[in-house]
Amino acid sequence: MSTLTLLYDPECGLCRRVQGWLAEQPKLLELKMIPIKTDAARRRYPQLNHELTAEDLTVISDQGAVYFGPKAWLMVLWSLSRYHEWSYRLASPELLPTTRRVVSLVSQHRYQISHAVGLSR
Amino acid sequence: MTIEIATYLLYLAISIALTVWVAHTLHKSGRIFLVDVFHGNEPLADSVNHLLVVGFYLINLGYVSLALKLGYNIATAKEGIEALSVKVGTVLLVLGGMHFFNLFIFSRMRRRANMRNAPPPVYPDAFTPVQEV
């Protein structure tokens, strides 16, 4: 695995902010960002359910492995040299349920959060 | 030579010999660990190994030197041996502590290095064909 593709929501301020932060992080893998439900995304992944990608972050490896939601976030952490170890810690059986809850909560309320912290569109 | 001087000299001789022995062991056996940690990069492993051993020597000889002073007078050979035994015993414990600390550092470095090649933390949810454009 050498590249991860992130399908991100360009409509949400928080996601854009995170994307900017990701761009500056030292990486172990290459990260590609494609906005969701665009022609580029549909061309690259013709058989993917693109409606689903609007609900939570989707990460796809260069071999076509799809990670959705909390797993996608763990994969993003895994690709960053500084948080590589944390991805294993957060994916451990003890912490995974909490990780899932927190990530789902943030994802579902991303527009409200963006708005609340002044990152709205 | 008084018994006190003899005790001091024996203390120094035993402590320094022990330090050299432990450092040598660390140097010899730690190398294999470090070569593995640095993925076969032997010059780098040797360099880190050397630096670790230098630190080990500095801390231990520093402790041996600081702990030299006895603080009371010795009259008989029996007292001399008892004082020597306490001093050498402390040096041995410090050496043991330092040695395990070094082992801990080695194993942590190794675990971190192995983690770089480990598979991802989670399994994929699905697979999808990728159309490279």
> What domain range is B25 assigned to?
19-114
At residue A76, does pLDDT exceed 70? Answer: yes
Beta-carbon separation of A85 and B112 below 8 A: yes
How far apart are alpha carbons A36 and A42 in whole angstroms? Answer: 9
Task: Please state the domain count of chain A.
Answer: 1
Q: Which of B115, B130, B132 is the closest to A85 by Cβ?
A: B115
Task: Please state the domain count of chain B.
Answer: 1
A8 exposure class (CB count in 10 Å sphere: 0-12, 13-18, 19+) = buried
Interface predicted TM-score (ipTM): 0.75
Instruction: Give the tens place of pLDDT for each residue, B47-79.
Output: 989 998 999 899 999 999 998 888 888 888 888
B1 touches chain A (CB under 8 A): no
Q: Which of A74, A84, A85 is the closest to B122 by Cβ?
A: A74
- Position B89 confidence tier, pLDDT thresholds 50, 70, 90: very high
B69: helix, coil or strand? Answer: coil
Beta-carbon separation of B122 and A84 below 8 A: no
At residue B132, does pLDDT exceed 80? Answer: no
Instruction: Give the tens place of pLDDT for each residue, A79-94.
Output: 998 888 888 888 888 8
B74: helix, coil or strand? Answer: coil
> What domain range is A48 assigned to?
3-116
pLDDT at A66: 92
Q: Are B33 and B110 in contact (CB under 8 A)?
A: yes
- Position A60 confidence tier, pLDDT thresholds 50, 70, 90: very high
Residue A121 domain flag: no
